[in-house]
């Protein structure tokens, strides 16, 4: 029963959503499918409680056992509770919450995103080292595309923007479309395998 019930639920929900995408049966589309979507939102909301419980359990244990760098766990839990409790009691428009969100959270988020610039440089350096023929092709293409996208490239040679555009519209687009066709077929077959109960790996079995 532990396996049969989830497989049956997956089959019913999967077929229902699949059919609803192609055929709109008035009552079913509005009420039954809509009801399933509401359930999904409610389950996701409860799952967030599970996530918070997981964080609490792990970090309280760290603090109690005095594990290495336990003070980081204290900071995490305090931040989590402050950011959760303030908007619940005083709404999200509260001055303290707005201050914390704008001046701490947004800056931290922006910092992580900004790191990408440096990581792109270091990853590019490693990828562009000419060790194989493919790496050499990658380097030449990258230089043409980069020079084509900058004003200095057009100053050096007027052909750079043209060849850069040619590489991107012909080779990159063709490659991307090929990968997308393969991935779309893969996703469709994976979804059907799960709906029909052939793939049960999400239970932990083989």
Partner 1 sequence: MLEEIIVVNRLVLLGLTVAISVALLIAIRQAKKGKKFFIRRIAGLEAIDEAVGRATEMGRPVHFSPGIASLSEETAAQTLAGLAVLGYVARLTAKYDTELIVTNRMPEVLPITEEVVRQNYLSQGKSENYNPDNIVFLSDEQFAYAAGCMGIMSREKVAANIMMGAFWAESLIFAEGGFAAGSIQVAGTANTHQLPFFIAACDYCLIGEELFAAGAYLSQDPMQVAGIKVQDLGKIVAVLLIIIGTVTTTCNWPVICEFLARFAS
Q: Is residue 159 within 8 Å of 143, Cβ to Cβ?
A: no
Q: Which of 4, 119, 131, 132 binds partner 1 (CB under 8 A)?
A: 119
Residues constituting the chain: 206
Q: Is 84 in the site for partner 1 (CB under 8 A)?
A: no
> Rounded to the nearest 5°, which phi and psi values hold at 129?
-65, 125
Q: Which of 85, 136, 140, 192 binds partner 1 (CB under 8 A)?
A: 192
Kind and range of the H or E element at 6? helix 4-22
Closest CA relative to residue 56, chosen from 33, 26, 79: 79
Q: Which of 126, 131, 133, 151 binds partner 1 (CB under 8 A)?
A: 126
By the 10 Å C-beta count (0-12 exposed, 13-18 middle, 19+ buried), 160 is classed as buried
Q: Which span (43-51, 96-104, 143-151, 155-163) binds partner 1, by CB under 8 A?
A: 43-51
Total of residues contacting partner 1 (CB under 8 A): 59
Smaller CB separation from partner 1, 126 or 131:
126
Output the smallest distance, CB 146 to partner 1, in A: 13
Q: Is residue 127 within 8 Å of 120, Cβ to Cβ?
A: no
Closest CA relative to residue 99, chosen from 116, 90, 182: 90
Cα distance between residue 33 and residue 77, in whole Å: 38
Q: Which of 9, 18, 60, 130 binds partner 1 (CB under 8 A)?
A: 18
Q: Is 47 in the site for partner 1 (CB under 8 A)?
A: yes
Structure tokens belonging to residue 184: 């779309």
Output the smallest distance, CB 200 to partner 1, in A: 10
Output the smallest distance, CB 95 to partner 1, in A: 22
Q: Which of 113, 131, 133, 158 binds partner 1 (CB under 8 A)?
A: 113
Kind and range of the H or E element at 72? helix 70-90
- Binding stretches for partner 1 (CB under 8 A): 18, 21-25, 40, 43-44, 47-52, 54-55, 57-58, 61, 69, 108-109, 112-113, 115-116, 119-120, 122-124, 126-127, 176, 179-183, 185-194, 196, 198-199, 201-206
């Amino acid at each position: 029963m532990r396996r049969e019930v989830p497989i049956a639920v997956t089959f019913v929900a999967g077929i229902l959503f699949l059919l609803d995408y192609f055929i709109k049966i008035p009552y079913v589309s509005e009420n039954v499918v809509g009801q399933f979507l509401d359930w999904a939102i409610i389950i996701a909301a409860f799952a967030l409680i599970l996530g918070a419980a997981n964080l609490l359990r792990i970090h309280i244990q760290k603090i109690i056992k005095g594990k290495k760098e336990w003070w980081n766990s204290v900071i995490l839990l305090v931040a989590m509770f402050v950011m959760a409790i303030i908007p619940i009691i005083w709404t999200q428009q509260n001055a303290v919450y707005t201050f914390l969100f704008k001046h701490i959270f947004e800056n931290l988020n922006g910092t992580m995103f900004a790191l990408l610039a440096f990581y792109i440089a270091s990853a590019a350096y490693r990828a562009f080292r000419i060790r194989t023929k493919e790496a050499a092709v990658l380097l030449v293409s990258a230089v043409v595309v980069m020079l084509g996208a900058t004003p200095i490239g057009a100053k050096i040679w007027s052909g750079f923007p043209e060849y850069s555009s040619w590489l991107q519209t012909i080779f990159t687009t063709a490659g991307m479309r090929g990968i997308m066709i393969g991935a779309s077929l893969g996703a469709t077959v994976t979804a059907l395998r799960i709906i029909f109960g052939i793939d049960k790996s999400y239970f932990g079995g083989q």
